[in-house]
Chain A
Amino acid sequence: MKTTINLPELALVLLIGPSGSGKSTLAKRLFKSTEIVSSDFCRALIADDENSMEATSDAFDLAHDIIAKRLKRGLLTVLDATNLRPEDRKICVDIAKKYHVIPCAIVLNLPESVCQKQNKERTDRVLSSRVISNHIQQLRKSVFKLKYEGFRHIYEFKSIEEIAELQEVHREALWNNRKAEHSPFDIIGDIHGCYDELCELLTKLGYEVDKATFTVHAIEPSRRLIFLGDLVDQGPDSPAVLKLVMNTVESGLALCVPGNHDIKLMRYLNGKNVQIKHGLELTVEQLANESDEFKQKAKTFIDKLVSHYVFDDGKLVVAHAGLKEEMQGRGSGAVHEFCLYGETTGEIDEFGLPVRYNWASEYQGKALVVYGHTPVPEAQWFNNTIDIDTGCVFGGKLTVLRYPERELVSIDAQRTYCQPARPFLTATKVSLQSDNDDVLDVGDLIGKQLVETKLMGHVTLREGNTITALEAMSRFAIHPKWLIYLPPTMSPSETSSVPELLEHPQEAFHYFKKTELIR
């Protein structure tokens, strides 16, 4: 008989078992040789002797470094060591957590007699039988603890036969991995129960909407809808929005990621003790007229939502509150939290709300991140991210980003359904991107730098050169934002307000004036 085990495609796998239990043999059968980090091999690398116990501490430092580098780069890694002590396993679980990788364990829990026999038959080294006995005891104590130590998948094998039958690891794609999907998308920001505006927006995009039955039909077959979460709370008809989104997700027309309000509603429906405020009180009231069956369905629906998705060969990421590059396509508790709430500074603002940290200001990732959560007066492009929560429920508008066209379409709110706790309709001068272009980070300019160019490949800037460049540019050059290109002689001007004219220099001058450019 042949058995298969399932592991996530990106995992840190600890083999756990006494010396002589056959860990290395099993690892070689199941994993690529480059995926296996062996403590013995690390000992050999730094001491020329894989039995050198005196080199153990350095060997494990090396093993942990290799594991960290591999996990950072998103590669499944197997640690082939006895891994019998909880404190040693904790170091590995912590590394996995740091890189938002799922820790897994394969336990070889063989009878002592078998381990002793295999130990004696070894040609490379034979340990004393007392060492093996100690290992066995440590293992017995460990087995029950693993799931509390943070291991998400634990497989235990109790005989040579069971191990021999294990022939294959099936690598499961993470739920968020939709890199193979390229179809065009219509990505919709925070709806908050604004059902009328949602239907109007879908109709404007060309979908066929049956408002009474909460159903939508696509006109363009390959195009899919993506909802960015916060379907409910604060607005006039959260159940209707839930119904439409649930129907479209069920029919395969749409995908949806959860928002913080959706998760709170689910917790309420699960009977958890949540504060019924911030708009949840309205949803609760609206749900009073709904059947228990619907509430049950809604609960299951929200529960199954995946924190974020990665599409289009990794070029597009969607998440309710956005996602930093190092978390994209990963699956830890921290990733889930970030997707729902974003990042806060730990401070409280004058409106009594947590101050949000704008993660996008430091974003340098290759993927376009589309998110909502923070209401802004206009959809805001910023460092290859875009916030499309234009505060419909607060009297703003409901916005969709069409991908890959990068076209924005929106519908104005019919009225202000809810007063925001923090006023959001304050326009920035030109754009957040323009404000932020004033901020350059010294880390991009000092030390040795690699510049990718179109025509010449990589150009290396040596440290001595960047030192002098920083000095000269800081003291004698004009503002760096005017250096990156030759400014056009005229601003792309808006359509003229003068009748019969398409463009007039007046608008161009007005634009420059707004940017405080005086000459």
Chain B
Amino acid sequence: MIQGALTYRDQRLAGFEAAVLIEVIEHLDADRLPALERAVFEFAAPQYVILTTPNKDWNVTFTEDAALMRHKDHRFEWTRAEFTNWCQKIQKKFSYSFTIKSLGEESETNGVPSQMAIFKKENA
């Protein structure tokens, strides 16, 4: 186990086959997200990145307060559209392809509690 932060380039994390970021990104301020993107997809650059983040669309199933988040340290929660947008940006910027998968029980119109993207390095 090592201590680090994904907002910094870290030589120790380079060269792995896969990386997993389970419910991590929403704990970063939005303006620090580009640093994580580069640290993960440009410098650590594993063959696969598995990443999950809450689906904001699903929040209506337990609250009417649109501003409420699921944890007091969450800096943002993304709708399905926002997440897809971000994944497309990563694909373009760092040459990773991606597929999005659902996590949890699906509600009729609001999707699932959490959304997952599996990124695969192109030409890998």
Interface positions of A (Cβ within 8 A of B): 438-443, 445-446, 467, 470-471, 474-475, 478-479
Q: Which A residues touch B3, using CB under 8 A?
A: 446, 467, 470
The answer to whether B4 and A438 have CB atoms under 8 Å apart is: no
Further pairs besides A441-B10, A443-B10: 20, Cβ < 8 Å? A438-B34, A438-B38, A439-B9, A439-B35, A439-B39, A440-B8, A440-B9, A440-B35, A441-B8, A442-B4, A442-B8, A442-B10, A442-B12, A445-B8, A446-B4, A470-B3, A470-B4, A470-B5, A479-B31, A479-B32
Tell me if B7 is interfacial: C-beta within 8 Å of chain A. yes
Instruction: For residue B31, give the distance in angstroms from its CB to the closest CB of chain A.
Output: 6
What's the Cα separation between A436 and B34 when bound, in Å?
Answer: 12
Which positions 6-30 of chain B face chain A at CB distance < 8 Å? 7-12, 27, 29
Q: Which A residues touch B35, using CB under 8 A?
A: 438-440
What's the Cα separation between A471 and B31 when bound, in Å?
Answer: 17
What's the Cα separation between A475 and B26 when bound, in Å?
Answer: 11
Q: Which single residue of chain B is at the shortest CB-CB distance from A446? A: B3
23 of the cross-chain contacts (CB-CB < 8 Å) are A438-B35, A438-B38, A439-B9, A439-B35, A439-B38, A439-B39, A440-B8, A440-B9, A440-B35, A441-B11, A442-B9, A442-B10, A443-B10, A445-B8, A446-B3, A467-B3, A470-B3, A470-B4, A471-B5, A474-B5, A475-B73, A478-B29, A479-B31
Instruction: For residue B86, give the distance in angstroms from its CB to the closest CB of chain A.
Output: 17
Q: Which single residue of chain A is at the shortest CB-CB distance from B5? A: A474
What's the Cα separation between A478 and B75 when bound, in Å?
Answer: 13
Interface positions of B (Cβ within 8 A of A): 3-5, 7-12, 27, 29, 31-32, 34-35, 38-39, 43, 73
Q: Which B residues touch A478, using CB under 8 A?
A: 29
Q: Which A residues touch B9, using CB under 8 A?
A: 439-442
Q: Which B residues touch A471, using CB under 8 A?
A: 5
What's the Cα separation between A467 and B10 when bound, in Å?
Answer: 15
What's the Cα separation between A478 and B7 when bound, in Å?
Answer: 12
Q: Which A residues touch B32, using CB under 8 A?
A: 479
What's the Cα separation between A514 and B5 when bound, in Å?
Answer: 28
Instruction: For residue A295, give the distance in angstroms from its CB to the closest CB of chain B.
Output: 44
Instruction: For residue A471, give the distance in angstroms from its CB to the closest CB of chain B.
Output: 8
Q: Which single residue of chain A is at the shortest CB-CB distance from B42? A: A439
Q: Which single residue of chain A is at the shortest CB-CB distance from B75? A: A475
What's the Cα separation between A439 and B34 when bound, in Å?
Answer: 10
Q: Which single residue of chain B is at the shortest CB-CB distance from A473? A: B5
Instruction: For residue B43, give the distance in angstroms from its CB to the closest CB of chain A.
Output: 8
What's the Cα separation between A145 and B27 when bound, in Å?
Answer: 63
Instruction: For residue A56, give the distance in angstroms from its CB to the closest CB of chain B.
Output: 36
Question: Do A442 and B38 contact each other (CB < 8 Å), given the known contacts A475-B27, A479-B31?
Answer: no
What's the Cα separation between A442 and B34 when bound, in Å?
Answer: 16
Instruction: For residue A10, give the distance in angstroms from its CB to the closest CB of chain B.
Output: 28
Instruction: For residue A394, give the distance in angstroms from its CB to the closest CB of chain B.
Output: 26
Q: Which A residues touch B38, using CB under 8 A?
A: 438-439
Q: Which B residues touch A443, using CB under 8 A?
A: 10-11
What's the Cα separation between A118 and B15 when bound, in Å?
Answer: 57
Q: Which A residues touch B73, using CB under 8 A?
A: 475
Q: Which single residue of chain A is at the shortest CB-CB distance from B27? A: A475
- Give the interface centre of A467, A470, A475 by most chain B CB atoms within 10 Å: A475
What's the Cα separation between A441 and B39 when bound, in Å?
Answer: 9
What's the Cα separation between A258 and B16 when bound, in Å?
Answer: 39
What's the Cα separation between A394 and B13 when bound, in Å?
Answer: 39
Q: Which B residues touch A438, using CB under 8 A?
A: 34-35, 38
What's the Cα separation between A445 and B10 when bound, in Å?
Answer: 11
What's the Cα separation between A438 and B9 when bound, in Å?
Answer: 10
Q: Which B residues touch A446, using CB under 8 A?
A: 3-4
What's the Cα separation between A446 and B31 when bound, in Å?
Answer: 23
What's the Cα separation between A215 and B7 when bound, in Å?
Answer: 55
What's the Cα separation between A116 and B92 when bound, in Å?
Answer: 75
Shortest beta-carbon contacts, A-B, top 9: A474-B5, A442-B8, A442-B10, A441-B9, A440-B8, A442-B4, A439-B9, A438-B35, A479-B31
Q: Which A residues touch B11, using CB under 8 A?
A: 441, 443
Identify which of B5, B27, B29 contacts A442 (C-beta below 8 A).
B5
